[in-house]
Amino acid sequence: MGKSLAIAVREYNAAVKTKAFVISVVLLPVMLCSTLILRHLTEHLTDSKDQRYAFLDHAVNPDVFNFLNDAVQKRNEDGTQPRWFLERVPATDPAKQLQLKLSDRVRHGELAGFIEVNGNDIVYHSNTPTYLDFRDFAGRRINEALRTRRLADAGFPTAKIEPLLSSLPVKDGGLARIDQKTGAVVNEKPPNSVAAILVPFALVMLMFLIVIVGAIPMMQGVIEEKQQRIAEVLLASVRPFELMAGKLLGMTAISLTLIAIYGLGGVWIAGRTTFDLSAYVTPSVMGWFFLFQILAVLMFGSMYIAVGASCTDMKEAQALLLPVNLLIMLPITLLADVIQHPMGPLARWGSFFPTAAPMLTIARIASSPAVPMWERIVPALITFGTTLLFVWAAGRIFRVGLMAGKASFGSMLGWVIRG
Amino acid sequence: MSHAIQLSNVTKTFGAHIAVDDLSLCVPTGSVYGFIGPNGSGKTTTLRMITRILPPDSGRVCVLGEDHHGPANDRVAYLPEERGLYKQMKVRELLRFYARLKSHTPAPGEIDGWLERMELSGHGEKKIEQLSKGMSQKVQFIATVISRPELVLLDEPFSGLDPINATVLRDIVLDLKKQGATVIFSTHDMSIAEKMCDFIFMVFRGRKMLDGTLESIQRDYGADTVRVEFGQPVMLNDLPGVLSVTDFGKYQELRVERDCDSQKLLAALMQRGVVGHFEIAHPTLQDIFVRIANGNQTAGFLKNDLATDGARIGTDGEKT
């Protein structure tokens, strides 16, 4: 144990006392929020030029156009970019000829598109089908105008109809419960939908990035030890399993350091903002996160170490890492669905899949307090068993691989079976 | 006599290649043992099996009384042929780390003492990558012996060292011996092996070819070498009983047949010219090495040569 500890301390110091680690610590949250930050930074780079649209109106009465035009002008006054401008084109010429003229204007960039209202048909023409903002905006407003017109035609006065048709906003409410002190039925605080998505997403991404930040340098270290023949010196002093255990211990310490840094950082930031996460980042959630994080570090760490021991350089490692990366990425690809439906079959069965269990279970627990205890304990046991299996198998690969040359999947499997 | 190492019928293969073939060896405690043999003959594999880095396919490896990797490994130190140091670590930190791997906590001043002895004072806080190759080699050597091991295995310890550093290293090896440690080192430098080793062990194609003291090996090979010096250049072809002639300029060295009569040979030489010097000698270790490596391992003996003792050629067994 003393030797493994000495190796763990060396690995920890080698990883933590580097500029790369400090940069990683800073970059980790940046990567986590990269989408939001990028969007914020590049907002002004999107196409904000004024856009002109034509309204090809087959009706004599311009009321629909006027209604839409008023809505567009109001939107422009609100400062929404890009600004839109409408021109009405009465259908005086044959429809096809008008369509051709307007289409040419679209092709030449004079118009961003044109919308055609003909009886019960609303048709939108454009050569930028990915930009749907105007299409959807215009569609909603035209339908409102047509509905008002139809009701007016049926003899309902507009002044009376509008209040009847007005929509009501949906508010979020908390679940009711009995207050233990007063015995009265009270409502809990309404859930914060942003936090409900953000917290599980952030926890899973943090788990993923902590594993990667620890595992990749560890694997590179093993390759370096093999290349530089340091492994030979080490193996003359410690058993291969002691060596690997030391490395995993060091990696665990690195991940705990990262958790401490981000945990304290999170508390510090939370104390300075009004964004209340206390309902989502509970001691229970953090306890499960801590457990699954440690297991994930050991499980994936042992895989990365085994790959490192089976390669002579990083180029070879990239080929062997493919299945490991697929396994580690699998829960990320399922994350959106799991957060949205934490009690659904995909989330439940996904959390029972060994290598996906740590991330998907924490995503479920952080998304919904309704996840039953057995659906937390079973994935934890599955992960624990898988971790033991992987550490054992990696130990056998490590023992032979460190003194061998390049290995294939077949030879790695052979080392696991035969030792 | 106790033995630091006992190998019994040890075999190690890598795929179809037999690296070590049914090897047996006993290394007496406190001796300096020289491993010689051509590249790829199995020296390093044997050393790796002794350090438990590689397990044998069959046979028994007993080191300091233990058959398996155990506490005794802390009393064994190994310097591999290709040096392995963490380039980003500082010298002092690295030495402390390697000592801890051998369950040894350096006493205050111990590391500095070693650095001073190896003329590395002032380099303790430098990173390994900042050191020259020779300096790194000396650091690796300190890392090997800092735990005060009972058994020291050195794979090519002198290669790449300048004569001054080689002398420093040699003195430390001899000091280790004086302190009771058993030292095994592999080398391609036959003169070092001849001067430093109590016993010589030669492995060739995985098999033991020589094992004994230098004197006993030479005696077993017999006095099959004649050194002769003439006052003027002479032709030495077609001499009776002479297998080969090597001209060293100042003198000629003749390798003779097993039943060659030295008196008849001297007479024949005197007919070719004025013989200034005539010496019947044992082959050097270098000669023996070359003969074995070239596949000609039959020892030649002069008729007048006396009996041999002690060493065995191509045989296994325990030395007494």
Q: Which amino acid is at A150?
A: R
Enumerate the residues of chain B whose CB falls inside 8 A of the CB of residue A2: 100, 103
Cα-based distances in Å from B231 to B190, B242, B252, B253, B254 = 31, 21, 12, 15, 17
**How many CB atoms lie under 10 A from the CB of residue B139?**
27
Task: Render pLDDT for B12-41 as a digit per residue (tens, 0 to 9).
Answer: 998 888 999 999 999 999 999 999 888 888
Average pLDDT of B311-319? 37
Please tell me the distance in Å from B18's CA to the nearest CA on chain A.
Answer: 16
B314 token code pair: 């191509």
Interchain CB contact of B89 with A (< 8 Å): yes
For residue A58, the model assigns a pLDDT of: 85
Q: How far is CA A406 from the centre of its chain?
A: 36
As a three-state string, the secondary structure of chain B is: CCEEEEEEEEEEEECCEEEEEEEEEEEECCCEEEEECCCCCCHHHHHHHHCCCCCCCEEEEEECCECCCCHHHHHEEEECCCCCCCCCCEHHHHHHHHHHHCCCCCCCCHHHHHHHHCCCCCCCCCEHHHCCHHHHHHHHHHHHHCCCCCEEEEECCCCCCCHHHHHHHHHHHHHHHHCCCEEEEECCCHHHHHHHCCEEEEEECCEEEEEECHHHHHHHHCCCEEEEEECCCCCCCCCCCEEEEEECCCCEEEEECCCCCHHHHHHHHHHHCCEEEEEEECCCHHHHHHHHHCCCCCCCCCCCCCCCCCCEECCCCCCC
pLDDT at A87: 94
Higher pLDDT among residues A69 and B220, named by residue: A69
Mean pLDDT on B146-168: 89
Is B139 in the A-facing interface, judged by CB distances under 8 Å?
no
Complex ipTM: 0.79
Please report which confidence band the pLDDT of residue B234 belongs to, taking 50, 70 and 90 as the band edges. Answer: confident
Interface of B with A in 186-205 (CB under 8 A): none
Q: Report pTM.
A: 0.75
Q: What is the pLDDT of residue B218?
A: 83
Q: Which of B53, B74, B90 to mutate to test the interface with A (most CBs of A within 10 A)?
A: B53
Tokens 């003749």 -> residue? B254
Task: Write out the two tokens for A24.
Answer: 């990683």
pLDDT of residue B310: 35
pLDDT at A44: 67
Check residue A404 and give its pLDDT. 80
Q: What is residue B316's predicted lDDT score, i.e. its pLDDT? A: 37
CA quadruple A286, A290, A291, A296: dihedral positive or negative?
positive
Give the per-residue pLDDT at B110: 92
Neighbours of B299 (CB within 10 A): 18
Nearest to B80 among A6, A7, A233 (CB): A233
Q: Which residue of B has its CA nearest to A226?
A: B84
N-terminal to C-terminal alpha carbon distance within chain B = 8
Query: What distance, in Å, lies between the first and last C-alpha atoms of chain A?
Result: 22
Q: Please answer whether residues B152 and B160 qualify as being in contact, where contact means their C-beta atoms are separated by less than 8 angstroms.
A: no
Partners of residue B69 in chain A, C-beta under 8 Å: 239
Question: How far apart, in Å, are the Cα atoms of A96 and each of A53, A59, A93, A100, A103?
Answer: 18, 16, 8, 6, 10
Identify the residue with better confidence: A405 or B312: A405
Is B85 in Cβ contact with A228 (below 8 Å)?
Answer: yes
Q: How confident is the model at residue B299 (pLDDT cuts 50, 70, 90)?
A: very low
With an 8 Å Cβ cutoff, is B164 touching chain A? no
Q: What is the mean pLDDT of chain B?
A: 85
**Are B48 and A237 in contact (CB < 8 Å)?**
no
Give B71→chain A minimum CA distance, Å. 10
Residues in chain B with CB shorter than 8 Å from the CB of A312 are none
Token code pair at residue A316: 């070879």
Q: Which strands sit side by side in the sheet containing B225-230, from one edge to the other?
A: B242-247, B252-256, B225-230, B275-281
Task: Please tell me the predicted confidence (pLDDT) of residue A72.
Answer: 95
What does the pLDDT read at residue A396? 86
Distance CA B315, CA B143 (A): 36
Q: Does A233 touch chain B (CB under 8 A)?
A: yes
Mean pLDDT by 10 residues, chain A (419 residues): 90 87 80 71 75 89 89 92 91 84 93 89 90 93 88 82 80 84 85 81 90 89 88 88 91 91 80 72 89 94 92 86 91 91 92 94 88 93 94 87 82 83
The pLDDT of residue B318 is above 70:
no
